[in-house]
Amino acid sequence: MDPVAPGGLIVPPSELSRQGTWGSLVQTAQAMIHDPAQARTPVDMEALRWNGLSMQAEGRNMADHGRAMADQVDVMAARHQLDPQKTGALHRAAQTMQTVGGHLEQNGQEMLDYADRLRRSLGYL
């Protein structure tokens, strides 16, 4: 899911245009990457949610890539009789990608949950 595609927006692009510029939205989103606690307006919270959605998608992609990589290592090992040491190193790298991807996906969900709690606590939901 593309968090900035018109279909992925909770607030329609026309409303965002009326409220301000897209550039400020991106700037606000970037500012919150390191400190989500700075979110205070509805647009900030939507940007925080988009960051969470993006992080979830990146995590899923990374984990999927790690799984595909592990499958390819198995095929290479079977066809080309890779050195066991190289096979082990490649499997560990693939597992690391899967693990990190899973953590990113989980962190993205936590960001979404945080944005929703923050929206409720500030009365925006």
Joined together, the tokens standing for residue 51 give 């960051």
Is position 4 within any domain? no
Are the CB atoms for 115 and 49 separated by under 8 Å? yes
Query: 1 pLDDT exceeds 70?
Result: no
Is position 46 within any domain? no
- How many structural domains compose the chain? 1
pLDDT tens readout for residues 23-57? 455 555 555 555 666 666 666 777 788 888 988 99
Q: pTM of this prediction?
A: 0.64
Query: 112 pLDDT exceeds 60?
Result: yes
CB atoms within 10 A of CB 33: 12
Is position 39 within any domain? no
Q: Which domain holds residue 96?
A: 54-125
With helix as H, strand as E and coil as C, how does 84-112 read?
HHHHHHHHHHHHHHHHHHHHHHHHHHHHH
Is position 31 within any domain? no
Q: Which residue has the higher pLDDT, 114 or 18?
A: 114
pLDDT confidence of residue 14: 62
pLDDT confidence of residue 4: 47
Distances from the Cα of 96 to the Cα of 2, 93, 108, angstroms: 25, 5, 18
